[in-house]
Amino acid sequence: MPQTQVLQLDASSRAAAEARRWVAHICAQLDREDLSECAELGVSELVTNAVLHARPPIRVRVRGTRTHPRVEVADASPVAPEPPPAEPEPDDFLATFGRGLSIVARSATAWGASIEPDGKVVWFEPATELRDSGAVGVFDSVTHEPEPIGEDAVRVRLRGLDVELFTALDKKYTELRRELRLLSLAHQDTYAQAGDLAAVFATFDRQFPRRTAAAVAAARRNGAKLLDLELMMSPVAVPILTAMAEIFDLADAFCRAERLLSIQRTPEEREFHLWYLGEFVRQLDGGMPVPWHDPPELHATRVQVS
């Protein structure tokens, strides 16, 4: 399956029809026309819900594999969708119109929602035919409460952090973390490793102050190319930081083999990522800051993140 199966939609009356046509085309590309009817029904319901009850941007994406394609609809509202009623739906399809997520559940072998601070993703794996009863949805709410800063915390100084590289990596990290989480939710029995990796990523997230990414985003809006960051970290984070360097390399290999549908890091992004993680490990062990090797004439904005 290609790695860039994304449809951007406006919050308009035409959005659901556009999503249906697009998903049918993707099913044909995958030679999975047997899934097309349920894929169209499910995505139509999710896009309609997003248009009526959520906030743009609205994105439709097909991920997974040819055997287990997954349709995702993302929007900017962090409000969880309302689960369908527990009672069986009537046989008449017209009677199910407008009944929330019931039609999605009946169109899917697995479905659910991932709620994040910047919005949500509602996903489903299309069935080959409309089912008499709906699949049970799996809901996941993501919180990234940082670990409390202990008395042993060390001030880590990131000198000359590249704003654009950090932004690109942060986006790829978010996509990879989300894919692992959705895989673990949809296939808890067959993708147990995805659940283990998702748990490792959650531990990694908790080591960083929430305002770090916000500081980088603010610097980017102000046109800064480089940024000096100072933040407090506990030495207990060293094992997870070291492990993550290896896990990201493993994830890149999976992406190249299309076992994961996220996009692997570029060589420059990987080099920057190793510097970024390595600075934490080295300074937590008593080392001095080593700046990222970008042109020295670029001004670095200095920000302290507590």
Is 43's pLDDT higher than 90?
yes
What's the pLDDT tens digit per position in 90-142? Answer: 444 333 333 557 888 889 988 888 877 778 888 898 999 988 877 767 776 66
pLDDT on residue 86: 52
pLDDT on residue 304: 59
**Residue 69 token pair:** 């394609």
Domain ranges for the chain, please list them: 6-141, 154-305
pLDDT on residue 255: 79
What's the pLDDT tens digit per position in 260-298? Answer: 767 789 999 999 999 999 999 999 999 999 999 854 444
Q: Are 160 and 294 in contact (CB under 8 A)?
A: yes
Is 196's pLDDT higher than 60?
yes
CA dihedral 218, 3, 186, 174 (to 10 degrees): -10
pLDDT on residue 2: 46
**Residue 45 token pair:** 């319901």
At 14 the three-state DSSP class reads coil
In degrees rounded to 5, what are phi and psi of residue 104? -65, -45
Q: Are 252 and 265 in contact (CB under 8 A)?
A: yes
Residue with tokens 């990596």: 169
Cα 84 from Cα 139, distance rounded (Å): 13
Q: Are 264 and 254 in contact (CB under 8 A)?
A: no
CATH code linked to domain 6-141? 3.30.565.10
Is 193's pLDDT higher than 80?
no
Cα 108 from Cα 145, distance rounded (Å): 33
Average of per-residue pLDDT across 69-83: 82
**Residue 291 token pair:** 């700046």
Cα 255 from Cα 272, distance rounded (Å): 19
Average of per-residue pLDDT across 26-33: 92
pLDDT on residue 67: 79
Q: What is the pTM of this model?
A: 0.63
DSSP single-letter state for residue 300: E
Cα 43 from Cα 61, distance rounded (Å): 10
What percent of the chain has a predicted confidence (pLDDT) above 70? 78
pLDDT on residue 146: 61
Cα 7 from Cα 47, distance rounded (Å): 11
At 195 the three-state DSSP class reads helix
What's the pLDDT tens digit per position in 46-56? Answer: 998 888 888 88
Half-sphere exposure of 36 (CA within 13 A, CB side): 13
- Number of CB atoms found within 10 A of residue 294's CB: 15
What's the pLDDT tens digit per position in 218-237? Answer: 888 899 999 999 988 888 88
- For strands 69-75 and 108-116, give the pairing: unpaired
Q: Mean pLDDT lowest for which of 52-66, 74-88, 242-256?
A: 74-88
pLDDT on residue 210: 65
Is 73's pLDDT higher than 90?
yes
In sequence order, what E strands does the chain have? 6-9, 58-64, 69-75, 108-116, 119-126, 137-141, 154-162, 226-233, 300-305
Cα 214 from Cα 219, distance rounded (Å): 9
What percent of the chain has a predicted confidence (pLDDT) above 90? 32
CA distances from 97 to 88, 127, 132 (A): 14, 18, 15
Instruction: Please state, rounded to an integer, the average pLDDT across all residues of the chain.
Output: 80
